Amino acid sequence: MDAVERPPAEGSDLPFLPWPRRVRAMFGGETVADSNGVRLLLEPRHLPVYYFPAGDVRQDLLLPSDTRGDAPSKGEATYWHVRVGDRQVDDAAWSYRAPPATASSIAGYIAFYWNAMDAWFEEDDEVFVHPKDPYHRVDVLNSSRHVRVEVDGVTIAESRRPRLLYETGLPIRYYIPKADVRLDLLERSETVTHCPYKGTTEHFSARVGEHLTEDVAWVYATPLTESSKIENLVAFYNERVDLYVGGELQPKPTTPWSR
């Protein structure tokens, strides 16, 4: 699925969009930032970033840093440490005090490194991994396609009732009921991944004979509400298995998960 082109903010070359949701950043039991006027920066090849109006940030929790950074599109960045009680995280926040004209709309806003904060909320729902991109879609559809998965020449899953997950910029993922999967050939691995749109995975490796193929499948045991249709279904990395759909072997896509 193709992404919709992101519009730039008025008077700026940056996609710096109004975000009509209350957003909060928490650290050390304190609300460091709380705003109904957040903007979302959507730079190409970067994850989305919340920017808070400076007046909605607890200035008493910010300590000036000597660190400076330079971004060709945004100018010089000024950094702050965040300190609450005995806890401090260095260079956790930044702003652009004098951006170039092409990024003028970003002046007067402060952003935080995601992992520097303890928790993030949109309204009263916690947000995980990074802010969601409004131009990134995840759709899950019921299907009657015949899907078969092979590992080392052995059929490890076969189903005519998969659910197909279409996600912007990614291959179709085929989620298969556990009753249609050779669970006896799967072994839980230590790999855990997190997705802001779907939730937290459990990963599985496949053992066929003496050969172990690591991390070929995953399950969202308790997905986020908007992805509830994939709950407890098994998906396989198209990149790491032989996947047949309608009897045709699918080409292995090239993605960050390819080997």
Which one of 100, 127, 154 terminates a domain? 127
Q: How far apart are CA 103 and CA 133, in angstroms?
A: 20
Q: Is the pLDDT of residue 1 over 60?
A: no
Same domain, residue pair 76 and 173: no
Please give the average per-residue pLDDT across 23-36, as a whole number: 98
Q: How far apart are CA 201 and CA 71, in angstroms?
A: 34
Q: Is the pLDDT of residue 2 over 50?
A: no
Residue-wise pLDDT for 206-255, tens only, equals 999 999 999 999 999 999 998 999 999 999 999 999 999 999 999 999 98
User: In this structure, are residues 229 and 163 in contact, taking their beta carbons and an 8 Å threshold?
Assistant: yes
DSSP reduced 3-state for 186: strand
Which one of 104, 127, 150 terminates a domain? 127
User: In this structure, are residues 157 and 184 in contact, taking their beta carbons and an 8 Å threshold?
Assistant: no
Query: How many residues does this entry show for the chain?
Result: 259
Q: CA angle at residue 21 from 18 to 27, to 5 degrees?
A: 110
Of 8, 35, 39, nearest to 23 (Cα)? 35
Which one of 93, 127, 161 terminates a domain? 127
Structure tokens at 171: 């291959």
Total domains present in the chain = 2
CATH number, domain containing residue 217: 2.170.150.40
Q: Is the pLDDT of residue 38 over 60?
A: yes
Residue 150 makes CB contacts below 8 A (sequence gap 6+) with 156, 241, 242, 243, 244
- Structural domain includes residue 121: yes
What is the pLDDT, as a whole number, of residue 243? Answer: 98
Same domain, residue pair 216 and 183: yes
**Residue 166, domain extent:** 138-249
**Average of per-residue pLDDT values in the chain:** 93
Same domain, residue pair 122 and 148: no
Give 3 or 15, the one with higher predicted confidence: 15
Residue-wise pLDDT for 49-77, tens only, equals 999 999 999 999 999 999 988 888 898 99
pTM of this prediction? 0.83
- Structural domain includes residue 82: yes
Output DSSP code: residue 255: S
- Rounded alpha-carbon distances, angstroms, from residue 252 to 72, 100, 159: 37, 44, 20
Output DSSP code: residue 166: E
Burial of 34 (0-12, 13-18, 19+ CB in 10 A): middle
Residue type at position 225: T
Q: How confident is the model at residue 7 (pLDDT cuts 50, 70, 90)?
A: low
Residue-wise pLDDT for 189-200, tens only, equals 999 999 999 999
Structure tokens at 75: 């100018």
Same domain, residue pair 21 and 101: yes
- Structural domain includes residue 4: no
What is the pLDDT, as a whole number, of residue 157? Answer: 98
Structure tokens at 182: 């050779």
Q: How far apart are CA 81 and CA 60, in angstroms?
A: 11
